[in-house]
Amino acid sequence: MKVCFLGTGAMVPTKQRNVSSVLLEYEGEFILFDCGEGTQRQMNLAGYNRTKVSRVLITHWHGDHVSGLIGLIQTMGNIPEPGTLHIVGPVGTKQHMHHLVRAMSFDHRLNLDIVEVEGVRPEVVVETKRYVIRAAAVEHAISCLAFSFEEKDVRRFDVGKAAAHGVTPGPQMGRLQREQVITVGDKEVTLDMVTYLQRGRKVTYVMDTSVTDNAIRLAEDADVLICESTFLSSEHQDKAEEYGHLSAKDAAFIARSANAKKLVITHFSQRYFDTTPLLEEAQSIFSNTIAAYDFLELEVVRD
């Protein structure tokens, strides 16, 4: 499980940074958080096959978060057997998509599955065998969502404990898994005695917003919190509040309040060529912070 930052700038692409998109790779599946202009080229440069994207999670319909969608959709439809692209976004996403795909002339071969979410409270918007994705509304000039990708906990055999209880790998373990309790010799062995719960990993993505409870709720105990940090609080806290954005200090406050393990700040205003001041400001409140840059790849590990 890893994330790759495809764009780390706010509002406009610069020579140094593209606009918002983060790719999450999980067991061979590619999930995009946002898809700003140029995202598919960034994927290409980073070595990710664009036709393998299965889901796009859209925070909101400001251009710097969605203007790469149409190009990606055309590219994904350009293979012999295009499948389905699952899109989750705020209310209004179906209408935006309706206009978007008609704005250009091309063969619509890719199937689009679109889900709109209100997210008054954090809610599950995708569930598979291995993970859930939750979304919640945050506070911006227009409807905006934050997302969490949460791997499910998995029960695993502790080989040492199993051996100590005389449980052999293979059919016996399989039977224990099915029946929860088996008899080994003259003893009963339960599943709990020879297994442990492997905690699932969690990545939370919070973009354009003011500080809000839903962002903190969604980021609770996240292994990695990816959070916008458009401004430096010591210079422009007023601007952050006026435009519905977070400062580096706000991002760190959310990480600390949510008990996140690691904070990655991103979505920097173009006025910051060097992000060191933002990083230092965030670190003064939440020490395990790093500043993202384009093409940064981060392995999401359990501690």
Catalytic site positions: 64
Cβ closest to Zn ion, residue 208 vs residue 281: 208
Number of residues forming the site for Zn ion (CB under 5 A): 3
How far is 123 from 88, CA to CA, in rounded Å? 12
Nearest approach, Cβ of residue 267 and Zn ion (Å) = 6
Residues between 48 and 87 that touch Zn ion (CB under 5 A): 62, 64
245 binds Zn ion (CB under 5 A): no
Nearest approach, Cβ of residue 214 and Zn ion (Å) = 16
Cβ closest to Zn ion, residue 176 vs residue 291: 291
Helix axes 248-258, 233-243, angle to 10 degrees: 80
DSSP 113: E
Nearest approach, Cβ of residue 116 and Zn ion (Å) = 18
Handedness of CA 49, 51, 54, 56 (dihedral sign): positive
Nearest approach, Cβ of residue 206 and Zn ion (Å) = 12
Cβ closest to Zn ion, residue 145 vs residue 300: 145
Beta strand residue intervals within 118-259, DSSP E: 123-127, 131-138, 144-151, 154-157, 181-184, 187-190, 195-198, 202-206, 224-228
How far is 222 from 150, CA to CA, in rounded Å? 9
CA distances from 247 to 22, 25, 59, 115 (A): 20, 28, 18, 30
Nearest approach, Cβ of residue 270 and Zn ion (Å) = 12
Nearest approach, Cβ of residue 238 and Zn ion (Å) = 18
Q: Which residue's structure tokens are 């840059």?
A: 293
How far is 108 from 270, CA to CA, in rounded Å? 36
Show the binding pattern over residues 13-52: x = contacts Zn ion (CB under 5 A), - = does not: ----------------------------------------
- Applying CB under 5 A, which part among 178-186, 203-211, 273-281, 290-298 lies near Zn ion? 203-211
- Applying CB under 5 A, which part among 81-89, 151-159, 207-215, 249-257 lies near Zn ion? 207-215
Q: Check if the beta carbon of residue 262 is closer than 8 Å to that of residue 288.
A: yes
What phi-psi label fits residue 38: left (phi over 0), alpha (psi between -120 and 50 degrees) or beta? left
Cβ closest to Zn ion, residue 40 vs residue 269: 269
CA angle 282, 288, 290 (to 5 degrees): 65
208 binds Zn ion (CB under 5 A): yes
The burial of 7, by beta-carbon neighbours within 10 Å (0-12 exposed, 13-18 middle, 19 or more buried), is given as: buried
202 binds Zn ion (CB under 5 A): no
Cβ closest to Zn ion, residue 151 vs residue 208: 208
- Applying CB under 5 A, which part among 37-45, 148-156, 180-188, 205-213 lies near Zn ion? 205-213
Helix axes 69-76, 93-102, angle to 10 degrees: 60
Cβ closest to Zn ion, residue 37 vs residue 64: 64
Using CB under 5 A as the criterion, which residues of the chain lie in contact with Zn ion when the complex forms?
62, 64, 208
